């Protein structure tokens, strides 16, 4: 069954609780990347343009101390939302209580109220201790927040893999729930890749550790036609095949053994690099492309090599669904970004040819954004951990709590 979305709701005159993901990077109270705020605009605009009263809220960072409360004040995000949406946003510096209740009671149709960081409810200032009421889905807190509105819209995929008071807690206590447009896209693209991918279906995995992605690798071996592996995790697989990876980052023997078992189970589905760009030190100076078998003492692989990109291009030719999670090398260093850029270019070409290309959040999403390829793929997920769990085929509480149509 398809999920109900915000446009299925009759919002006119209703108080619409909208859980967004405004967990944006900030430095000294200044937002350094407002992508997540922009991503929430279509849902908020739909509500206010159709006469709803938009009550917007999000977490920001982790709140485990009084210092975290000062550091993770979400007020600057409300200012940025007002600038982007072109309409007044009334910010309430509270997560519950009379000030918040009065602000909501006084709302007119088409207005926006945003309240303070939901994770403030994770720390009891008076007792000076962590209580995790938001993060652990405190029943009373979810019930209280639900009482502030008439209907609930979840548009925060980044927290969908966790049951919290601000998603599952609210949904359990309101008469009607729906997905926002951003969450709808995640369900369509990542959920589609899991449930009914158009084939050939190729997955690309990078990043540093096999141990971080055991579940998703196993799930993809069942679902995908090929799994291309890059990033530092490739060296754990290569060591499992008997290669001496020298000074390259590699996990402990138990994960080398696990990689060996995955390769056996894969029966040829896993495609590994044939070369890498190496250096003797972890620094941004030009490296040397070498075949894996030719690594010398002290060589540290920091990116996939040009011949590997050629192999990957052949494996991706004609693919109709591609999911990518994890960069191919240390893309933050310009001398070791070529592999990640190369994968971006391959995905852009496939997108132009009509393939569904999905970047599963995290560092690979950051790489695509930084390298200028965000608009050249079908979808970039807004949730790293959530997208990985979704790709594993796990039920995400923040998706499950949304009503079916």
Closest CA to 193 of 180, 183, 184, 203: 203
Closest CA to 301 of 247, 244, 228, 240: 247
Beta bridge partners, 177, equal: 152
Three-class secondary structure of residue 395 per DSSP: coil
Q: Under a CB-based contact definition with an 8 Å cutoff, are residues 154 and 402 in contact?
A: yes
Could you tell me which residues come within 8 angstroms of residue 124 by beta carbon, excluding any fewer than 6 positions away? Answer: 130, 131
Q: Under a CB-based contact definition with an 8 Å cutoff, are residues 205 and 216 in contact?
A: yes
Question: Positive or negative, the Cα torsion across 328, 255, 221, 383?
Answer: negative
For 47, counting Cβ atoms within 10 Å of its Cβ (0-12 exposed, 13-18 middle, 19+ buried), the class is buried
Catalytic (active-site) positions? 36, 209, 362, 385
Other Cβ atoms less than 10 A from the Cβ of 2: the count is 11
Question: Positive or negative, the Cα torsion across 79, 80, 82, 83?
Answer: positive
∠ CA 73-46-189 to the nearest 5 degrees? 85
Q: Under a CB-based contact definition with an 8 Å cutoff, are residues 199 and 242 in contact?
A: no
Question: CA–CA separation, 116 vs 94, rounded Å?
Answer: 5
Cα Rg, the chain, nearest whole Å: 23
Phi and psi, residue 18, nearest 5°: -120, 110
Indicate left, alpha or beta for 331 from its phi (over 0: left) and psi (-120 to 50: alpha). Answer: alpha
Residue with tokens 């101390």, as numbered in its chain: 65
Question: CA–CA separation, 164 vs 129, rounded Å?
Answer: 19
Angle between helices 362-370 and 384-391 (to 10 degrees): 120
252 DSSP assignment: -
């Amino acid at each position: 069954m398809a999920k109900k979305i915000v446009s299925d709701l009759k919002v006119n005159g209703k108080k619409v609780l909208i859980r967004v993901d405004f967990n944006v990077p900030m430095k000294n109270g200044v937002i350094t990347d407002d992508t997540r705020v922009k991503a929430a605009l279509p849902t908020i605009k739909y509500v206010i343009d159709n006469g709803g009263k938009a009550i917007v809220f999000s977490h920001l960072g982790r709140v485990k101390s009084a210092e975290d409360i000062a550091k993770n004040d979400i007020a600057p995000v409300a200012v940025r939302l007002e600038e982007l949406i072109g309409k007044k946003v009334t910010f309430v510096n509270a997560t519950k209580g009379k000030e918040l209740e009065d602000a909501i009671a006084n709302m007119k149709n088409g207005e926006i109220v945003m309240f303070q960081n939901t994770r403030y409810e994770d720390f009891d200032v008076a007792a000076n201790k962590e209580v995790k009421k938001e993060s652990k889905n405190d029943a009373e807190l979810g019930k209280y927040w639900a009482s502030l509105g008439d209907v609930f819209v979840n548009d925060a995929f980044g927290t969908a893999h966790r049951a919290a008071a601000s998603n599952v807690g609210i949904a359990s206590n309101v008469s009607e729930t729906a997905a926002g447009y951003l969450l709808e896209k995640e369900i369509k693209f990542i959920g589609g890749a899991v449930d009914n991918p158009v084939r050939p279906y190729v997955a690309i995995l990078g990043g540093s550790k096999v141990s971080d992605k055991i579940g998703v690798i196993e799930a993809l071996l069942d679902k995908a036609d090929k799994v291309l592996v890059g990033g530092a995790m490739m060296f754990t697989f290569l060591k499992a095949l008997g290669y001496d990876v020298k000074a390259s980052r590699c996990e402990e023997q138990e994960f080398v053994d696990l990689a060996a078992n995955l390769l056996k189970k894969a029966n040829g589905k896993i495609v590994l690099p044939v070369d890498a760009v190496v250096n003797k030190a972890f620094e941004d100076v030009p490296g040397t492309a070498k075949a894996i078998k030719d690594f010398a003492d002290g060589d540290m692989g920091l990116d996939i090599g040009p011949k590997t990109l050629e192999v990957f291009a052949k494996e991706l030719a004609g693919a109709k669904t591609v999911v990518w999670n994890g960069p191919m090398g240390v893309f933050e260093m310009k001398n070791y970004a070529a592999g990640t850029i190369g994968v971006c270019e391959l995905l852009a070409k496939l997108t132009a040819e009509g393939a569904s290309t999905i970047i599963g959040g995290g560092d690979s999403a950051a790489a695509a954004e930084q390298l200028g390829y965000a608009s050249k793929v079908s979808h970039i997920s807004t949730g790293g951990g959530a997208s990985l769990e979704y790709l594993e085929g796990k039920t995400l509480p923040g998706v499950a709590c949304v009503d079916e149509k």
